[in-house]
Amino acid sequence: MSITDTTTAADPAVRGRRRAGGHRPSVTDRSARMSYLFVSGYVLLALAFGVVPTLYALRMSFFNGQGQFVWFANFIHVSQDFRFMPAVTHVGLFIAAWLIGLLFLVTLLALIIHSIGRRWLSSSVRFIYYIPGALAGASSVVLWLFVLDPTVSPVSAVLRALGSESLIQTVAPGNLPVVFAVIAFWTGAGGWIVVMYGALNSISIEVLEAARLDGANAIQTALHIQLPMLRKWISYMAIMSLAAGTQLFVEPKVLSQATHGVVPVDYSLNQLAYLYAFKQQDLNGSAAIAVMMLVVSLGLSVYVVIRGGLFERG
Amino acid sequence: MTTHNRRAAMTRQRRVLVTTAVAASLFAAAACSSATPDTDDSDAPDDSDGTSYGFETVEQDPSAPITVWVDASRQPAADAFIAANPDFPINVETYDGGADGSGSFQTKVEAFNQAGSGWPDVVFSTQNNDASWASQGTDPFAAPLDKGYFEQAFLDGFTPGALNPLTVDGTIYGLRNDLAPTVTWYNQSLLDEFGYDVPTTWEEYEALGEKVAVEHPGYIIGTVGDSFTPEIFFWAAKAPVNVVEGVDQLSCDTSDPKAVAMAELLDNLIAKGVLASQSVFSPEFVQSYGDKVLMLPGPVWYAGALFSNPDSLNAAPGTIAAGLPLAWDGETPAAGNVGGGTWFISRHSANLENAKTFLEWVTSDPAYQVDVAQGLPAYKEVGDLWLAKQAETGFFTDSFADNVSTAAGQVWDGWGFPKFSQEAVWAKTIIPELAAGKSLVDLLPAWETAIKNEAQVNGYQVS
């Protein structure tokens, strides 16, 4: 099987469009060669900046600072750190809040936009959803600093209704997972809504028309036709978001500085790994944390891939 | 485009890709290999002209520009230096100054250690515990200053005790920018108007707070919303919660009677509503208490940062006084200390002479320390000039210079300078709980555990 075949098969949008068009160009030798060329750029960069550093971290996590092989000593050492379990809990709660919100709301919003009949309205709503995504990383958190502070917030009434009179109360430890989830949703959801919208467009019109002829209303169509056909896309979104979510770093880091340390500098696992590397000068401990995060997110991703049928051709 | 051309283009493209990929892998490999601690400095020759700095230097280049890191508040120091020395080769960069124990100074230096290059020549830090890590390790950052680098006569010019936080195992690793003893700030006109006496003990302070709560509700006699609150109250209360012995021993006892007494005092006054729970730097604080500050125990740099600052409390000239540090009934008074910035020079600097010129100027030249600086200069001569200038402007009441000098000599020496930030521990453990209405006395055990945990991961033996 050539690489072209795999990518085409795994890409429901492409397949749907082709089917609708009823025309499939034959794969010539030259374009097959080109495809290797195109893929090689990614593969080489992934090797250099993804695989090699990962293997390097894996190796480091089993050695100590003097270069001796120490089995699992680094893993035991970091997992006994008093900051480790709280950081695991923080990241876990954040991911739970974020993933559930993201999967549910993005799919819902995409379905709603898709059902809007007026073309200009649908495209402008998509554009508006997408705008926050333009504020990358730290800058969006800085903006949220103002939103979260009841004294300057445009939504201070909402914050006060939720019982917070100051920024410190808004970012109380119990609220943080939700606060970070809201920030992450706001910056990231727009892009996913556009992706989901694209995926919805790839569902062939014949199928939807058949459903309508059979008397299905919008909700029934969504539940029984569109959602099952979106399954792969939702799994894809879950995997990408899971990987991003375990990397929680910028949001707590910026909030920590803005709240004069009330949001701790060791809130998330990534921050802890950062402290190990650059404050305690323990790169091997840092590598151990990184490897644990890799194992967990890889495991969850494999689960989602299998359950979501992401690599199935059917 | 002909087939031939296309193929040529493709080959070219492929060659570019391959070159890029090879370069990328080499780069990755280089990044990996430089991550292992290496000792490329150790075989560098000693300074060629024979002057000994007391540590191994890199090759010196008298024309190399020096890179200076300052926080936003110390930007004027660099500006004043550039104004006085317009042709001096210098790059000034701002960073957060490590404020609130963010640790950015250390983490950045560690990153440069990994990279093996990139260190700034001179660094200002708002934290006075940085020498504890900057002087240690396989590749220490801070240059020792009293082993032949700086003249002893210059170092002797600092106020006695000012360089203590920068002295590790008898060696001085940095210079103090300013002194920051705590004093008991109060509003003389308001106290007169209300008919209150200035308290001299913590007991009198508490009694005054109870009276204010009843007779003049809305006025405050202090704040507990900052990360440096423990340094204002617990340090001055002589509470043994941050006792460092040697380089690796730390003890902390929040059940000590003095710690408990201070926690009870603060709980009582918080409950009475006479201690604000906001940070003095927050907009809420200025909004709510701008004209309601009756007293405010705090560091001497509140002078410029709050009282005479048009964007903060902006007090009327002649109303604010710096009272002496408070004492427990029957004991000698003690002052706490909040920061007092520090300057470090990198051992890796390629222009140590210029770094020294900059540091001597910035710590001891009146053009910055007297004319511009907001805090009490640590260098004695300019410190006296600064106090005289404050007295002259008459912004603060007459006793200002005397009381601040006295406070500077009363800083309790039982509070250590460990490798971690006590401010960061307080900020994450206590502030959110206080904001949620918990009592400080109940939080003392949690505070002790947090300090001990932090000490342990930083390599201290804890007792």
**pLDDT, tens digit, for every residue of B203-213?**
999 999 999 99
Residues of B in contact with A34 (CB under 8 A): 10
Query: What is the number of other CB atoms lying within 10 angstroms of the CB of residue B273?
Result: 15
State pLDDT tens for residues A64-95: 877 789 999 999 999 999 999 999 999 999 99
**CA distance, residue B18 to nearest chain A CA (Å):** 8
Instruction: Answer whether B33 touches A (CB < 8 Å).
Output: no
Residue in B21, B103, B453 nearest the CB of A44: B21
The pLDDT score that the predictor gives to residue B42 is: 40
Question: Which residues in chain A are contacts of B284 at CB distance < 8 A?
Answer: 151, 166
Q: Residue A13 above 50 pLDDT? A: no
Find the residue in A nearest to B226 (Cα).
A260
**Collapsed DSSP state (helix, strand, coil) of residue A211:** helix
CA distance B142 to chain A (A): 15
- Residue A35 CA to residue A25 CA, distance in Å, equals 15
Looking at the fold, whether B333 and B407 belong to one and the same domain comes out as yes
**Within a domain: residue B267?**
yes
- Identify the band that residue A24 occupies on the pLDDT scale cut at 50, 70 and 90: low
Model confidence at A16: pLDDT above 70: no
Which residues face B167 on adjacent strands? B172
Best B3, B17, B425 member to test A by mutation, with max A CBs in 10 Å, is B17
The chain A residue lying nearest B284, using CA atoms, is A151
Residues 399-438 in B contacting A (C-alpha not used; CB under 8 Å): 421, 423-424, 427-428, 431-432, 435-436
Instruction: Tell me how close the Cα of A220 comes to any Cα of chain B, in angstroms.
Output: 47
Closest residue to B110, CB basis, from A41, A172, A278: A278
> Quick check: A143 and A211 in contact, CB under 8 A?
no
Report the candidate in B362, B410, B372 with the shortest Cα–Cα distance to residue B85.
B362
| Residue B260 in domain | yes
User: How far B284 CA lies from chain A's nearest CA (Å)?
Assistant: 7
A25 touching chain B per CB within 8 A: no
Using CB atoms, pick whichever of B96, B137, B423 lies closest to residue A257.
Answer: B96
Residues of B in contact with A67 (CB under 8 A): 36
Domain boundary (B353, B388, B423) is at B388
Query: What angle is formed at CA A11 by the lines to CA A9 and CA A12, rounded to 5 degrees?
Result: 95
How do strand B66-70 and strand B122-125 relate by DSSP bridges?
Answer: parallel
User: What local confidence, expressed as pLDDT, does residue B180 receive?
Assistant: 92
Please tell me whether residues B157 and B292 are part of one structural domain.
no
- Print burial letters for A32-66: b (CB count within 10 Å at least 16), e (below 16): eeebeeeeeeeebbebbeeebbeebbeebbbbebe
A31–chain B Cβ distance below 8 A for any pair: no
Q: Which residue of B has its CA nearest to A80?
A: B457
**Cβ proximity of B159 and B378 under 8 Å:** yes
Bridge-based pairing state of the strands B122-125 and B178-179: unpaired
CB proximity list for A220: less than 8 A, separation 6 or greater: A211
Backbone CA torsion sign across A261, A266, A271, A277: positive
The reply to whether B167 and B91 lie within a common domain is yes
> CA torsion angle for B312, B342, B375, B276 (degrees, to 10)?
40
Length of chain A: 314
Specify whether B172 is located in the same domain as B204: no
> What confidence score (pLDDT) does residue B322 get?
93
B251 and B282 both lie in a single domain: yes
User: What is the spatial distance between Cα B106 and Cα A279, in angstroms, rounded to a whole number?
Assistant: 6
Largest alpha-carbon pair distance within chain B?
100
A281:B427 CB<8 A: no
Please tell me which residue of chain B has the smallest CA distance to A30: B7
| DSSP H or E run through B343 | strand B342-345
> Could you tell me the end-to-end alpha-carbon distance of chain A, in angstroms, rounded to an integer?
16
CB B119 within 8 A of CB A279: no
- Asked whether residue B20 is assigned to any structural domain, the reply reads no
A195 half-sphere exposure, CB direction, 13 A CA radius: 19
Q: Cα separation of B461 and A158, whole Å?
A: 47
Task: Please provide the DSSP assignment of B300-336 as one string.
Answer: TTHIIIIIT-TTTT-PPTT-EEEEPPPB-TTS---B-
| pTM of the model as a whole | 0.78
Mean pLDDT of A231-248: 88
Residues (pLDDT < 50) of chain B are 1-50
- pLDDT tens-digit map of B302-322: 988 899 888 899 999 999 999
A37 part of contact set with chain B, CB < 8 Å: yes
Residue A285, pLDDT score: 93
Q: How many domains does chain B have?
A: 2
- The reply to whether B255 and B307 lie within a common domain is yes
DSSP codes of every residue in B159-180:
PTTTTGGGEETTEE--EE-EE-
Which domain does B419 fall in, by range?
A: 182-337+400-462
Chain A residues inside the 8 Å CB shell of B279? 260
Characterize A166-180 residue by residue with b for buried, 16 or more Cβ atoms within 10 angstroms of its Cβ, and e for exposed: bbbbbbbbebbbebb
- With vertex at residue A23, the alpha carbon angle to CA A22 and CA A26, rounded to the nearest 5 degrees, is 150
Cα(B241)–Cα(B259) distance, rounded to whole angstroms?
8
3-class state of residue B94 by DSSP = strand
H helices within A149-249, ranges in order? Answer: 156-161, 167-170, 176-201, 205-213, 218-221, 227-229, 231-246
Sheet of B295-299, strands arranged across: B295-299, B182-187, B320-323
Burial of A9 (C-beta count, 10 Å sphere; 0-12/13-18/19+):
middle
Contact B284 A166 (CB under 8 A): yes
The answer to whether residue B45 is domain-embedded is no
- Count of C-beta atoms within a 10 Å radius of residue B146: 18
The tens digit of pLDDT for each residue in A189-223 reads: 888 888 898 888 888 888 888 888 888 888 888 88
Phi/psi at B215 (5° precision): -85, -30
At residue A223, the pLDDT reads 87
Per-residue pLDDT, A10: 42
B227 touching chain A per CB within 8 A: yes
Question: Which tokens hold the place of B95?
Answer: 């960073």
pLDDT at position B346 is 96
C-beta of residue B462 within 8 angstroms of C-beta of residue B251: yes
**B100 in contact with A at a CB cutoff of 8 Å?**
yes
User: Contact at 8 Å (CB) between B394 and B318?
Assistant: yes
* A278: chain B residues, CB-CB within 8 Å: 106-108, 110-111
Q: Between residues B319 and A139, which one has the greater pLDDT?
A: B319
Determine contact: A264 vs chain B, CB below 8 A: yes
Asked if B24 and A37 come within 8 Å (Cβ–Cβ), the reply is no
Ranges of each domain in chain A: 1-61, 73-308
B223 min Cα distance to partner chain A (Å): 15
Interface test with B, best of A170, A249, A259, A278 (most B CBs within 10 A): A278
Specify the residue for token string 């008298």.
B62
| Contact between chains at A41 and B436 (C-beta distance less than 8 A) | no
pLDDT band at A307; cut points 50, 70, 90: confident
Calculate how close chain A gets to B278, using CA atoms only, in Å: 8
Q: Give CA–CA dist B221/B208, Å, rounded.
A: 9
Q: How far is the first Cα of chain B from the last one, in angstroms, to the nearest whole number? A: 80
The reply to whether B11 touches chain A by the CB within 8 Å rule is no
Q: What is the pLDDT of residues A99-124, one digit of tens each?
A: 999 999 999 988 888 888 788 888 88
A262 shares contact with chain B (CB less than 8 Å)? yes
A to B CB pairs, distance under 8 Å: 120
List the single residue in B108, B435, B453 with the smallest CB-CB distance to A166.
Answer: B435
- Give the list of residues 6+ apart from residue A299 with CB closer than 8 angstroms, or none: none
The dihedrals phi and psi of A264, each to the nearest 5 degrees, come to: -65, 155
The residue ranges of DSSP E strands in B85-213, in sequence order, are: 90-94, 122-125, 167-168, 171-172, 175-176, 178-179, 182-187
Contacts of B106 in chain A (CB under 8 A): 278-279
d(CA B120, CA A304): 47
Instruction: For residue B392, give how far its alpha carbon lies from the nearest alpha carbon of chain A (Å).
Output: 35
Q: What is the CATH number of the domain that holds B264?
A: 3.40.190.10
Q: Across the interface, which of A34, A53, A173 has its CB nearest the CB of B28?
A: A53
Determine the pLDDT at residue B398.
Answer: 84
Please check whether residues B440 and B344 belong to one and the same domain: no
Q: What's the rounded Cα separation, in Å, for the pair B413 and B400?
A: 23
Residues B75 and B200 in one domain: no
Q: Do residues B152 and B271 both lie within one domain?
A: no
Q: Which of A256, A260, A303, A294 is nearest to A275 (CA)?
A: A256
The DSSP line for B75-86 is HHHHHHHHHH-T
- Residues B407 and B382 both lie in one domain: no
Helical (H) or strand (E) element with B426: helix B422-429
Q: Is residue B281 part of a domain?
A: yes
Q: How far apart are CA B224 and CA B208, in angstroms?
A: 17
pLDDT of A313 strictly over 80: no
Q: Are strands B249-251 and B461-462 parallel, antiparallel or unpaired?
A: parallel
Within-domain flag for B46: no
Instruction: Enumerate the residues of chain B whose CB falls inside 8 A of the CB of residue A167.
Output: 282
For residues B193 and B281, state if they share a domain.
yes
Let me know the angle formed at the C-alpha of A231 by A226 and A237, rounded to the nearest 5 degrees. Answer: 115
> Which residues of chain A neighbour B225 with C-beta distances below 8 Å?
168
Considering only alpha carbons, which residue of chain A is nearest residue B455? A82
Q: Which long-range contacts (CB under 8 A, 24 or more apart) does B406-409 make?
A: B406/B324, B406/B325, B407/B181, B407/B182, B407/B183, B407/B300, B407/B322, B407/B324, B407/B325, B407/B335, B408/B159, B408/B179, B408/B181, B408/B300, B408/B335, B408/B376, B409/B161
Distance from CA of A289 to the nearest CA of B (A): 15
Q: Tell me which residues of chain B, numbers 341 to 380, contact chain A at a CB-CB cutoff of 8 Å.
A: none
B202 shares its domain with B168: no
What pLDDT is attached to residue A209?
87
User: Quick count: other Cβ atoms within 10 Å of Cβ B362?
Assistant: 25
Instruction: Say if CB B47 and CB B57 are below 8 A apart.
Output: yes
Q: Provide CATH code, domain A73-308.
A: 1.10.3720.10
Give residue A174's pLDDT: 87
Q: Considering only alpha carbons, which residue of chain A is nearest residue B227?
A: A260
What are the residue ranges of helices labelled H in chain A?
3-10, 12-21, 29-46, 52-61, 73-79, 84-115, 119-130, 137-148, 156-161, 167-170, 176-201, 205-213, 218-221, 227-229, 231-246, 250-258, 269-278, 283-308
Which of the residues A42, A145, A168, A276 would you substitute to probe the B interface, choosing the one with the greatest number of B C-beta atoms within 10 Å?
A: A168
Phi, psi of B93 (to 5 degrees): -125, 140
